[in-house]
Amino acid sequence: MTRLHLKPFGTHGKVHAVTPQTAGWRYVGFGLYRLRPGETVAEATGSDEVILVMVEGKAAFQAAGQDWGVLGERMNVFEKTPPHSLYVPNGQDWRATAETDCIIAVCAAPGRGGHAARRLGPEGITLTERGRGTNTRYINNIAMEADDVADRLLVTEVFTPAGHWSSYPSHRHDEDDFPRITYLEETYYHRLNPASGFGVQRVYTDDGTLDEVMAVKDGDVVLVPRGHHPCGAPYGFEMYYLNVMAGPRRNWRFVAAPEVEWIMERDAT
């Protein structure tokens, strides 16, 4: 299995732990906890800012010296309702106690101390359609560029219907040349419905020095250090993914793969 394709450690506790050191890059970290009712997890953010996303279930949170109450509403991610999330800046602590079976994603990047702790959603998050035809998918933007809520982090979740493509037409964001393109590392946390299914993700560069095609299963994580990174959901299996991006600038600018530029131009009209 390619080093870009990460399987969960198990089904309980901390099942993913991506750091810049383990990924071989500079900015993005991603962790995932699967907790049972009554279980508690606590971390210090250290030099990172984090966005805690309630993927499923409910948990009570304390963070940055405040009690945030119980966050979470959807019991199954494929309900597609807006997620409850919490931003915690660098130099702080956070603690979560599960009220139900729950899944908590920890999205991390180096912080600058420029933003205070705050809840993100579900208010203000609306499921939005993007794309055309079998490129149609549905987006819950948690903390994207238009929202001044973080120093570096960009976080969103995407629902791709069965038989559709996503993160497509193929594009890359692996150069620091704003405003043409920005350098953003990225992780994909995948879920499938039914959970027994699979999806496909390709990560490739124009020159072919990186070209990996992965059959992703429910709970897998894919690393995108550079290059294009489209996903496909086979007929019969709906795909969800949670994206975490970060780089030197908090801007999302990308360049299309040469072979799909004509699709971008056509769909823009």
- Range 38-63 burial, b when 16+ CB lie within 10 A, else e: ebebebebeebbbbbbbbbbbbbbeb
The pLDDT value recorded for residue 269 is 63
Total structural domains in the chain? 1
Domain range for residue 125?
A: 5-267
* Whole-angstrom distance, CA of residue 266 vs CA of residue 253: 19
Whole-structure pTM over 0.95, yes or no? yes
Res 1: pLDDT: 58
What CATH number corresponds to the domain at position 207? 2.60.120.10
Could you tell me the mean pLDDT of each successive run of 10 residues in the chain, 269 residues long?
Answer: 91 97 98 98 98 98 98 97 98 98 98 96 95 96 96 98 97 97 98 98 97 98 98 98 98 96 83
Best CA proximity match to 105, nearest among 4, 211, 1, 243? 243
Looking at residue 260, its pLDDT comes to 93
123, β-bridge pairs: none
